[in-house]
Amino acid sequence: MIARVWRAAALTSNAEAASDHLRRTGVLVCRHCQGNRGVLLLRHQREETTEFLFVSLWESMEALQDFAGADVDKPVTYAGDADYLIEADTRVRHYDVVEPSR
């Protein structure tokens, strides 16, 4: 299994709206993709900014490519991202899942 990790941030004053946007776009799309094994949306609130980690789990690199395209290190972006996010990683990191959750 492969974990795909992407980081972004929003103003804390806009964190709830950003969370909702990420759920309506990336979370929803990933969960409906063949080969997706789960999605985690993590949030760390600071005083002025709130950081998000978007972790999606994939059964294989082929399944991940079906979602992300040939350049799997490029983030999948959605209309409206710039309305909610003040920064976002330009590359995605991938990890082999050594010990899955139960």
Say whether pLDDT at 76 is over 90: yes
Contact 64, 76 (CB under 8 A): no
Q: What angle do CA 62, 64, 67 make, to 5 degrees?
A: 115
Residue 13 has pLDDT above 90, yes or no: yes
d(CA 53, CA 36): 17
DSSP assignment letter at 90: S
Contact 95, 2 (CB under 8 A): yes
54: which strand partners? 6, 41
Enclosing domain of residue 69: 2-96
Instruction: Give domain status of residue 101, yes or no.
Output: no
pTM (2 decimals)? 0.93
43 and 19 Cβ atoms separated by less than 8 Å: yes
pLDDT tens, position by position, 37-75:
999 999 999 999 999 999 999 999 999 999 999 999 999
What is the CATH classification number for the domain harbouring 82?
Answer: 3.30.70.100
Q: What total of structural domains would you count in the chain?
A: 1
